[in-house]
Amino acid sequence: MEKPVIKLNTLEKTAVNVPTQESYNELMRVFESGGWEGPDCELPSTFKIWGKHGEMTCIGAGVCMGDYKLGKFGYASKKSYLEEDWKIISNEDFYKKQPDITFEKRAEINAYFNWKEKQEKTN
C-alpha cells in the first residue's frame, strides 16, 4: 500500500486547533501526506505533542511561528498563537481550504496510516 500524496496550501499566520487526540492524529497524517515536517524535520506521524497542551493545542498551518519556514509546522497553546495575532481555525476549516482534501481523500489517508501502524506492530 502506498502513502497518499496530496498538495497542501500553507495558511500564513493561521493555526489549527486540535481539541482531541483524534483530531490531532488525523491532522498529522494529512500533513505527512502533504510532505510537511515538524520543526526539527520530524515526520508528522511520529510527532507526539498533543498531551502537552491538550484541548488547547494548536498547530501552525504550514508555517512555523518562530522562524516562518513554509512547509514546516510548529505547535503551541492556543493562547500563544492568539498573543501573536494568528487566526485559529478548526481541522474542518483547514481541510475546506485545501483543494486536494476531500472526505474520500481523508479516508484514504487514514486507511493508509492505520495499515502502516498494523504493519509496524507485526514486525
Q: Is the pTM of this model over 0.85?
A: yes
Q: Are 95 and 110 in contact (CB under 8 A)?
A: no
Domain assignments of the chain as residue spans, ordered by start: 14-105
pLDDT in tens, 8-54: 999 989 999 999 999 999 999 999 999 998 877 778 888 888 889 99
pLDDT in tens, 56-72: 999 999 887 776 667 78
